[in-house]
Amino acid sequence: MGVGEKYESDCILSPTWIYGKWRKRIGRRHDRVYYKDDKGGRKCAVGRGADASENIKRQLTMVIDGSMVTDYSDVKLETKDLILKKAEFEDWKTIYYNLWRHKESAKYMLWQPTETDEDAKDRMKRTIAFEEKPENKYALFVYLKKTGEAIGFAGMRELERGIYEETGIALGPEFVRKGYGRQILTALLEEAGKLGAKEFHACNRTGNAASRVLQLSCGFVFDSLSEEKTDPRTGETYVLENHIYRY
């Protein structure tokens, strides 16, 4: 299954520091200004008192070699059968075997299947780095509640104030036709609604009937067709069918 195709899990790995190391440098008393050190050792005020403490917990942002990295480790969405949260390195094996190695899962998306354990580990490192970027707050892995295993990924992002788009939903072949896609898309719609969304956009390739049916069944309506695009993996041309959900 592949809804949309904008999720780029093969991004370049950016250097990063462990969040805990930054947290140790931050003041904790509510009557003091809170600070963090940047890479050059310079102190940067991030706020004062309890409000600063909460701000640090939710939105600690680092600038490293020109790259912005924000702690969104507590971002989590939950459905009847699934948990959507940030990827953890130790889950490389289950996501590899459940999703990344399957060509059919990548058919309507822009990522290449992974072929070896070592490649899967490298891909997981790149994925974690990708998910840490501020614009990727809602780039999440999909975990099965019953077993805790990683079975796919999903995401959304804000294009402009009140306008959101789905950035890709993918589930391994053993986990489709179980209603999980509907649970994921519904959870994203509900979360965007809480954030003040007025519109939510999603797309699918015209040949991807399953994704079209899913979007329409969740309340989306047809909006437009894209210009003809070329798949960089195969050279084949395709057209995206754009749908919109209005709150």
> Given the structure tokens 């015209």, which residue do they identify?
206
Residue 65 has pLDDT above 60, yes or no: no
* pLDDT for res 73: 83
What's the predicted TM-score (pTM) here?
A: 0.74
Mean pLDDT of the region 152-176: 97
Task: Give tens-digit pLDDT for 103-127.
Answer: 999 999 999 999 999 999 999 999 9
Task: Give tens-digit pLDDT for 67-81.
Answer: 555 678 889 999 999
Beta-strand relationship, 199-205 and 163-171: parallel
User: How many angstroms separate the CA atoms of 67 and 166, rounded?
Assistant: 24
Query: Cα angle vertex 218, ends 132, 203, to 5°?
Result: 55
* pLDDT for res 72: 81
Mean pLDDT of the region 187-202: 98
User: How many angstroms separate the CA atoms of 11 and 171, rounded?
Assistant: 20
Q: What is the rounded end-to-end Cα distance, in angstroms, of the chain?
A: 26
Mean pLDDT of the region 79-94: 98
